[in-house]
Structure 1
Amino acid sequence: MLQAIGGTVPPNTDHAVSVSLPTWKSNIGYEEGADWVMSRMKCGYPRFFVHPLIQSLAKEVLQRVGNPELESAMLFPSLKTAELCQEFLLSRIPAGDSSKPRIARFIPSPKAASSGNQDVISKLYAVIHSKSYDGISKQVWQHAGSGVSSRRGEFCMNALKDGYLVEDSAETSGANSPVISKGPKRYQQRTSAFKEVDPGPKTTSTPEGREYAQFIEERFGRNLDAKLEDNAKRAVRRRITGSLRSNVDLSEALESNTSDGRVAGLTEDDVFLYPNGMNSIFNTHQNVLSARGSKRSICFGFPYTDTLKILEKWGPGCLFYGYGSDEDLDDLERRLEQGERFLALFTEFPSNPLLKSPNLKRIHALGKKYDFAIVVDETISNFINVDVLPYADVVVSSLTKIFSGDSNVMGGSAVLNPQGQYFQDLKSAFQSNYEDNLWVEDAVFLERNSRDFVSRIEKINATTELVTGILKSSPLVKDVYYPKHSPTNPFYEAFRHPSGGYGGLFSVTFHSTEDAIIFFDTLEILKGPSLGTNFTLGSPYTLLAHYNELPWASSFDVPFDLVRVSVGLEDPEELARRFHQALDAVKQRAG
């Protein structure tokens, strides 16, 4: 079942969210930028690895408004997101460097704007800079998650080729001669590994408006009506509020007028959609700063890597508690008693990859007493299993994961607690600052994928308990990290729905790294980054997420050789057989 290195996960999926790294060695090769891995990469996790379609679009942009030999282009859906990247670059480029980044704007051409078909019109903003600063602009792409999606990139490429998207020269600013310099090896290799993507034959166009409508029809296909955008987003927001839980099609979903949400007063208007989960966290942090002033935040518990980076790199910084323990809360309480004040506390419920649950009730009490907001990332547990919103001001989630499940689209959400102490101020900030950058096609895929997410979660909960039980009972296994078996289980149970489970994610360690490698390489599942997929997916998570900071991760008791597994919808007995088989391979080595 070993899938080829660099193939899309799932296979044969143009907009796949994951990529095949099927062996321990290939994961290390990826992290080190080894050519034998990078030259075979057809895609990657979108915030870490720029999709080939977007790479081709960037090349096309540079050929029109830049210098492909000396410059790079990072692509964004709005002027605001482009300016974020430009400002980040300027803050880190040496003062004496004359090669300043500039923004090139592409807008619908007159024949598109006058066509009478306004359902799908996308602008495009390119931050053009010297190649020597690739590593800096890539940080914005990765941490903030504000770049264009691959579907939007594909649409813009075709629109650019067909003359429906053109440069607005009046909006292009600050062109300077770039400095010839190679970017960081890792990013440079990723770019050079892509082959040119054929955008398809160029059409012959005339100024007639009906041709743009035909262009939309050809690009989206008859079974993907662009007019569904608003309705699809509305249905997604309803599902997230918890008021729409059944498996129904879009028309039926929009007929429901129930207001029976996750907490009293919660409506779909309290849900804000973003292009991906990290972008929801980034914008939540910015909105809390806007609503409550500039103060440090708290990152509580060992976080998904980019959450900490956001808090450190945008704004006044943060206080980091990597263990997320009650002892950490004791220290925080002492600081608060001595007069320190904070903007907000960001935490995951449970954490990734150790699946530890924070003492959210105590955190909530401290927030009320000492005036700080609470932001909870519920991506791993999801609101079908737990109900954390009453104890948070904002709940964020990556819709890319189990909400979608199909691993073919990105999305994120932020939900405001209408009973929260800062609700009015936060609602005002979110509404004032909100940009709807979730691309129309992505929204439609999210809505369709999520229709059966409740039943999928219920099945995955049961299968994961079966698999973790097998691993827990094996003497070959050192530890299984899973909310049900965690020392922090009481904190999880305090928020678990009576019918909820423990989610589909767990991590496992062995008594030696060699055993971990054999287990991982032998286990017959798809392997690559991401989680919450409808198929079982594994990775040596710490290596992938923290390869250049393994001692730092280890200092918070995160083993460098753990194997993280996200359980899918396979037949439970068949999946159990595969895990027994991998354990048998470890046993044979030991024997």
Structure 2
Amino acid sequence: MSGSVPLQADVLPSGSEHYVALSLPRWGDVEEYARKRSSVAAGAAGYEESGLHRYVARLTRVLRDKYAKEREECLCFPSYTVAKRCREYIRVAVAGSEGARNAKVRILQLSTARPLTDEEASSKKECKIAVAFVAGPYFTHMLDYWRLSGEMVSSRVAKYVLHELFMIEKSQAVASSSTSGHRGENEEKDFIESRYGRQVNFTFAATAERLVKKRIATKMVDLDDEATLTNSTPVLDMDIVALQMHQHSDYDDDDDDDDYGNVGVAGENIQSLVPAESMSVEVNTIDNGSVADAHVNPETDIFLFASGMASLYTTVRLLTKLDEQRQTLRNNRGTASPGPEQHSKKTVVLGVPCHDTYEMVTTLSKSYFIPENGTDGLSKLKEILHSGEQILAVITETPTNGLLDVTNLVELKQLSELFGFYIVVDESVGGFVNVDALVYCDIVCSSLVKMFSGTEDVVSGSMVVNPQSKLYDFAQTFMASEHEPSSVLWCEDIIQLEQNSRDFVSKSKRINTATKRLLRDVILPQRGTIFTEVHHPSITDRAQYNLIKGKQDGGYGGVFAVQFSTLERARSFYDRLNVCKGPGLGGDYTVACPWQLLNQYDEVDKTLIRVSVGLEDYDVLKRAFEEAIAA
């Protein structure tokens, strides 16, 4: 990232054709988007309206026109195994309903050609996808699976497959569905030009994946390894010196004079030189107080996924499989007896998460939802535990997506040791630099499209398994049989993710500082007048957050939320705020959204506006909020 990002409310600042964020510049746009999501749920929407990237939507139309039977719709998945999971999801969803036997899912496997020479391998790769077809009335269930599981085909895969499989053949399906007689010809020309203009070398993918995993595990950029990936132009020595001075500066989150907000990063291909903070796990054993030290192995303990939702979904499947084995073992031993142990254990969603997370867990597993995330939430959890019911796991975001609440992971860890449940933490909002939660949980999941990538043009996710967890051996066995690395992240996606994340540590620190200054200078002075509530870990849950705050580079994060006395005031502030608007967070630019309007929780105030601070010039950002407040 070079320099500062300009503010602009009506567009999102990305030149990438693979950009995944939405622009919702006015409150009315958010309301319209929410209505469209409802129409998708009702089945009254096309592919683009369903939230598919334009390349994925185009590929889906082509495949439907070429292979679908009458009144069938289709969707693409990264593997045959994933498509079968979608088929099973639909079977369960429609079971017992009228006409359920008509909800049959056909699966077609397609593959592009393999490269024939080493030279071809730099720009050609075998790509396998699975296409699932279902009768139109049941297509919404397929879209639900795509959204909740996160097991999706990326825009780069769709673009590559379109070119390799269909564009050269001049698909009759594309031509017949075009509104212009030259549409198919023009699309083919666009894809051929893109193909010959491609700069990415596919053979770098394995090295890029290794670097990404290592970066997650250690928060460190390996300069020697990255040199093999960088086709950079020469950089002036003065630029390198400036970058070193900026990125080696000590960061003290309690020092009000710290300011990285106006420091530009020179040279897009320069690697981050921030000293590494190893993701070292110190596990306190409650029984004897001993401390074990373990280091995450990037190759064996970190798994990458097509999205953050896919990492959470896989974790839920892992836990469900473990519980199924428990029940099978008890039945085989003949020890099953009437009571809670005979049935599936429930999973607890603690705190108010992203609504897709809530819907996924509550749809795909037996569960409890405890919206409170502080003392009240733990008290309700204790009531369940002390009733004699055994639970399988607690899934929690920390900080949470909307209210920025922080779970008391220390006490939760103690409860898990006493009552034998597992802990899964989604730290996407805080990020690897700011949050060190692994010591208190069994699995950490994250959406890498946010702070780690920053540019929001690569949908991806990760799962980190705690090597000291009692779940570790089973998790390794499960992932060895269920995880399909070749179908999870396409080579172009992992290479782009590696490039995007090279300076994620320095960007996180700059955003932390800008957020602290914005809260201090503009937001908090208006608490009690313009804003009725201000939510940020440094304000509402500072003591709890300090227990999981990154020891070396960590801050309190770049996401905060504000509430208003009336909906009209919230609407006016949102419409006048001259920053980007939409549901994204953790990007290089500041973005705001009416969080409750998009997530529809009764437990959250309707006036809540969440803000994710970016890398803009601080003075410009400060002025944007001051003007919105004064209007």
Same fold (TM over 0.5): yes
- Aligned equivalents of 2:461 and 2:609: distance in 1? 26
Distance 1:338 1:42, change over 3 A: closer
How far does residue 163 in structure 1 lie from its aligned partner after superposition? 6.7
Aligned match for 1:459, one of 491, 494, 510: 510
Alpha-carbon shift at residue 439 of structure 1 (Å): 1.4
Structure 1 residue 66: deviation in Å? 0.8
TM-score (norm 1): 0.82
Partner of 2:252: none
Corresponding residue number in structure 1 for 2:132: 127
Q: How far did 1:250 drift?
A: 2.0
8 A Cα contact 2:78 2:152, kept in partner: yes
1:501 corresponds, among 555, 564, 569, to 555
Higher mean alpha-carbon deviation, 49-58 vs 421-430, is at 421-430
* Aligned partners of 2:48 and 2:57 also within 8 Å: no
> CA–CA distance in 1 between the matches of 2:84 and 2:586?
32
Alpha-carbon distance between aligned partners in 1 of 2:9 and 2:619, rounded to the nearest angstrom: 22
In structure 2, C-alpha distance between the alignment counterparts of 1:249 and 1:497, rounded to whole Å? 25
2:369 alignment partner, one of 314, 320, 324: 320
Residue 492 (1) aligns with residue 523 (2): no
What does 1:354-433 correspond to in 2, within 5 Å?
354-433=403-482
> Which residue of 523, 532, 537 corresponds with 1:471?
523
Tell me, what secondary structure is at the counterpart of 2:303? strand
The 5 Å alignment of 1:171-210 reads 202=188
Which residue is equivalent to 1:442?
493
CA distance in 1, matches of 2:224, 2:432: 19
Deviations, residues 87-123 of structure 1 (Å, cap 9, x unaligned): 11122333534533333323336x6476675662111
* 1:85 corresponds to: 86
1:373 Cα deviation after fit: 0.8
Deviation at 1:33, TM superposition (A): 3.0
Structure 1 pair 306–96 and aligned structure 2 pair: CA distance change class (3 A): same
Q: Which residue of 1 aligns with 2:18?
A: 15
After superposition, the C-alpha distances for 1:404-451 in whole angstroms (9 at most, x for unaligned) are 001111110000111122212222222221112111111111100000
The residue that corresponds to 1:267 in the other structure is 297
Whole-Å separation in 2 of the counterparts to 1:466 and 1:481: 15
The structure-2 alpha-carbon separation of the partners of 1:455 and 1:246, relative to structure 1 and needing over 3 Å to count, comes to farther
Q: Distance in 2 between matches of 1:28 and 1:122?
A: 39
State which of 56, 59, 62 in structure 2 corresponds to 1:60.
62
- 2:239 matched residue in structure 1: none
Contact 2:14–2:455 (CA under 8 A) maintained in structure 1: no
Tell me how far 1:3 sits from its aligned partner. 5.1
| Residue aligned with 1:91, SS | helix
CA contact (8 A) 2:107 2:131 kept: yes
Distance 1:485 1:82 in 2: 45
The offset of 1:262, in angstroms, is 3.0
Shift in CA distance, 323/201, structure 1 to aligned 2, threshold 3 Å: closer
Q: Which runs of 5+ in 2 are unaligned?
A: 1-6, 39-44, 172-177, 231-270, 282-293, 325-343
Find the counterpart in structure 1 of residue 240 from structure 2: none
Identify the range of structure 1 (128-137 vs 52-61) with the bigger mean alpha-carbon deviation: 128-137
Question: Do 1:10 and 1:407's aligned partners in 2 also have CA atoms closer than 8 Å?
Answer: no
Does residue 302 (structure 1) correspond to residue 352 (structure 2)? The answer is: yes
Partner of 2:280, secondary structure, is coil
- Structure 1 residues 165 and 268: CA distance shift in structure 2, 3 A: farther
CA distance in 1 between partners of 2:185 and 2:108 (Å): 21
Q: Does 1:156 align with 2:161?
A: yes
Instruction: Tell me, yes or no, if the aligned pair for 1:86 and 1:102 is still in contact at 8 Å.
Output: yes
Alpha carbons of 1:261 and 1:137: their partners in 2 closer, same or farther (altered >3 Å)?
same
2:278 matched to 1:225? no
CA distance in 1, matches of 2:354, 2:505: 25
Identity level (%): 30
SS of the equivalent of 2:503 reads helix
1:10-41 CA-to-partner distances (Å, cap 9, x unmatched) read 34431112121100011111212399xxxxx9
Q: Which residue of 2 aligns with 1:542?
A: 596
Distance 2:439 2:93 in 1: 40
Of 453-462 and 58-67, deviating more is 58-67
Q: 1:331 to 1:98 in 2, by over 3 A?
A: closer
Q: Does residue 564 in structure 1 map to residue 564 in structure 2?
A: no
The AA in structure 1 aligned to 2:597 is L
Give the 3-state SS of the residue equivalent to 2:369 in structure 1: strand
Q: Which residue of structure 1 lines up, in the alignment, with residue 214 of structure 2?
A: 238
Q: 1: CA distance between counterparts of 2:546 and 2:347?
A: 27
**What is the CA RMSD across the aligned residues, in angstroms?**
3.2
Label 1:314 to 1:43 Cα distance change in 2 as closer, same or farther (>3 A): closer
Going from structure 1 to structure 2, the CA distance change for 1:197 and 1:375 (only over 3 Å counts) comes to farther
Distance 1:378 1:108, change over 3 A: same
Contact 1:364 1:391 in 2 (8 A): yes
Q: Distance in 1 between matches of 2:630 and 2:223?
A: 40
Tell me whether 1:72 sits opposite 2:125 in the alignment.
Answer: no
Report if aligned partners of 2:351, 2:372 keep a CA contact under 8 Å in 1.
yes
Q: Over residues 204-252 of structure 1, what are the superposed CA-to-partner deviations in whole Å (9 max), with x where a residue is unaligned?
A: xxxxxxxxxxx99963745200111111111110010015247777247
CA distance in 1, matches of 2:66, 2:448: 35
Q: Distance in 1 between matches of 2:468 and 2:228?
A: 29
Deviation at 1:383, TM superposition (A): 2.3
1:521 aligns with 2:521: no
* Cα offset, 1:573, TM superposition: 1.3
Aligned counterpart, 1:106: 109
Structure 1: stretches of 5+ with no match in the other structure: 36-40, 167-191, 204-214, 547-552, 586-591
Normalising by structure 2, what TM-score?
0.77
The 3 A distance-change label for structure 1 pair 34 and 242 is closer
Contact 1:288 1:429 in 2 (8 A): no
In 1, distance between residues paired with 2:28 and 2:56? 28
Matches of 1:239 and 1:114, distance apart in 2: 33
1:51 match? 53
Q: Which residue is 1:282 aligned to? A: 313
Q: Sort the Cα spacing of 1:274 and 1:147 in 2 relative to 1 into closer, same or farther, 3 A.
A: same
Correspondence for 1:138 among 140, 143, 150 = 143
- Contact 1:266/1:418 (<8 A) preserved: yes
On the 8 A contact 1:112/1:164 being kept in 2, the answer is no
CA deviations 1:185-221 (Å, max 9, x no partner) are xxxxxxx99xx98685549xxxxxxxxxxx9996374
Report what 1:210 is aligned to.
Answer: none
Q: Helix, strand or coil: the match of 1:17? A: coil
Q: CA deviation at 1:334?
A: 3.1
